[in-house]
């Protein structure tokens, strides 16, 4: 019984120390009085996309200003940064909690060979094109999977034996 009591006391001391350190170092969530706001984040829900004119890329974000109008930029193979807002459904506007979701149809950029096999960065900006967050998206050709993508794309690619 003495051994168990000593262990409980040790756990209690560690728990108090963690809470005290967390409360004084600004860990968000450890101190309810913290005024820290989360940074904007963006996530590509379909991060591996087959090169196809019917392709759809689902993108979502959070931590933006409520009702904020946003832009989505994509850097093409030739290095041109394009605002792809016209290809989004719905338009990119954060809701009352600062979150949003949209679908991008990059078919035109694919058929014009502005997107090829590879990994690209999608950048979310404010209306003045100041970068707020970014995320990767990869495109692959199922008939010719590139060696550099095979490691993580293999579950999605069917190779002919």
**Token match 């014009």: residue?**
112
Amino acid 27: pLDDT: 38
Tallying the residues shown for the chain, one arrives at 161
Neighbours of 41 (CB within 10 A): 16
What whole-number percentage of the chain has pLDDT above 70?
67
The per-residue pLDDT for 154 is 54
Token pair of 17 as six digits: 């120390």
pLDDT at 1: 45
Contact 140, 51 (CB under 8 A): yes
- What is the Cα–Cα distance from 74 to 108, expressed in whole angstroms? 13
Rounded Cα distance between 127 and 68, Å, is: 9
CA atoms of 147 and 151, how far apart (whole Å): 8
For residue 150, what pLDDT is reported?
54
Query: What are the structure tokens assigned to 24, written together?
Result: 């004084």
> Which segments within 17-126 are labelled E, that is strand?
41-44, 48-50, 57-62, 71-75, 81-83, 88-89, 100-104, 118-125
Q: Can you give the residue ranges of every domain in the chain?
A: 1-36, 41-156
Q: pTM for this structure?
A: 0.68
Q: What is the mean pLDDT of the chain?
A: 78
Name the architecture of domain 41-156: Sandwich (2.60)
Q: State how far the Cα of 132 lies from the Cα of 40, in Å rounded to an integer.
A: 6
Q: DSSP 3-state assignment of 49?
A: strand
CA dist 66 and 64 (Å) reads 6
Would you call the peptide bond into 90 cis, given omega within 30 degrees of 0 as the criterion?
yes
What residue ranges of the chain have pLDDT lower than 50?
1-33
């Amino acid at each position: 019984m003495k051994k168990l009591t000593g262990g409980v006391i040790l756990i209690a001391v560690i728990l108090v120390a963690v809470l005290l350190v967390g409360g004084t170092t600004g860990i968000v969530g450890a101190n309810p009085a913290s005024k820290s706001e989360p940074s904007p984040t963006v996530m590509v829900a379909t991060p591996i996309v087959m090169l196809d004119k019917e392709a759809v890329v689902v993108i979502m974000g959070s931590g933006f200003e409520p009702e904020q109008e946003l832009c989505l930029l994509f850097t093409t193979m030739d290095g041109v940064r394009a605002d792809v807002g016209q290809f989004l459904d719905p338009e990119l506007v954060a809701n009352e909690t600062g979150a949003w979701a949209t679908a991008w149809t990059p078919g035109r950029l694919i058929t014009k060979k502005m997107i090829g096999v590879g990994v690209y960065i999608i950048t979310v900006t404010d209306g003045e094109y100041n970068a707020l967050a970014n995320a990767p998206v990869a495109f692959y050709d199922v008939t010719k999977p590139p060696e550099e993508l095979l490691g993580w794309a293999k579950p999605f690619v069917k190779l002919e034996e």
